[in-house]
Amino acid sequence: MPAEPELRTPRLLLRRWRDTDLAPFAALNADPLVMEHFPAPLRPEQSDDLADRIDAGFDERGWGLWAVEIPGTAPFAGFIGLNPAVFDAPFTPAVEVGWRLARAHWGRGYATEGALAALSFGFDELALDEVVSFTTHRNTRSRRVMERLGMRRDPADDFENPNLPDGDALRPHVLYRLDRPTWQRNVAPAAR
């Protein structure tokens, strides 16, 4: 297997997943507040399956949703990274930037800091032309991260997430986009 890229920021290490991440990942996925904007908290076996799928993505591509370590503070705080969005929607296929952190690590700027490193990887290493992010209308915490990253929403891009059933209150989603010129002009200087 080729050396996997690890991403470092002033406070974070974004790295490949370890078996020891599974228990704290199951704990955060069982937290109703962390999972407020998803259909339901995950059972431990669902959480383990998700970690396995994420890890398999690293084997396939060498990048994905990195495990977040906060050196000196927490060996595992959640994930931040890039994920292929391949479901049926007007903007797909695309690469999404995403994040999920344990509640104890909210309100410190970690999601934005790690996502900037993931965006650098996407634009500078993968040479992507655009990175997207999406969530439910009411997920204001996540939308604030997208806005802090310089991502922009056009309401004309709002979409129904086909992974959720018709009529589900979580199905309507907002889409935020960041294109390469905007990244280079406005966002990259803050990430370097």
Ligand X SMILES: CC(C)(COP(=O)(O)OP(=O)(O)OC[C@H]1O[C@@H](n2cnc3c(N)ncnc32)[C@H](O)[C@@H]1OP(=O)(O)O)[C@@H](O)C(=O)NCCC(=O)NCCS
Contact footprint for ligand X (CB under 6 A): 34, 37, 98-101, 106-112, 135, 139, 141-142, 144-145
Shortest reach from residue 77's CB to ligand X, in Å: 9
Alpha helices in 34-185 (DSSP H): 44-61, 110-120, 140-148, 180-182
CB of 99: closest distance to ligand X in angstroms? 4
Q: Which is nearer to ligand X, 47 or 139 (CB)?
A: 139
Q: What is the dihedral of CA 119, 52, 163, 26, to 10 degrees?
A: -90
Smaller CB distance to ligand X: residue 128 or 151? 151
CB of 35 to ligand X, least distance (A): 7
What count of other Cβ atoms lies within 10 Å of the Cβ of residue 186?
12
Strand duo 172-179 + 130-136: pairing = antiparallel
Question: CB 20: neighbour CB atoms within 10 A?
Answer: 11
From CA 121, how far away is CA 130, in angstroms rounded?
Answer: 12
For ligand X, the closer CB: 113 or 128: 113
Of the candidates 44, 45, 54, 39, the residue with the CA atom closest to the CA atom of residue 84: 54
Indicate the residue among 78 and 183 with the shorter CB distance to ligand X.
78
Query: Considering the complex, what minimum distance in angstroms separates the CB of residue 97 from ligand X?
Result: 10
Q: Which of 147, 145, 158 minimizes the C-alpha distance to 182?
A: 147
Residue whose CB is less far from ligand X, 121 or 135: 135
Nearer to ligand X, 59 or 168 (CB): 168
| Shortest-Cβ-distance residue relative to ligand X | 109
Smallest gap from residue 21 Cβ to ligand X (A): 15
Min CB(173)–ligand X separation in Å: 9
Q: What angle do CA 16, 20, 21 make, to 5 degrees?
A: 55
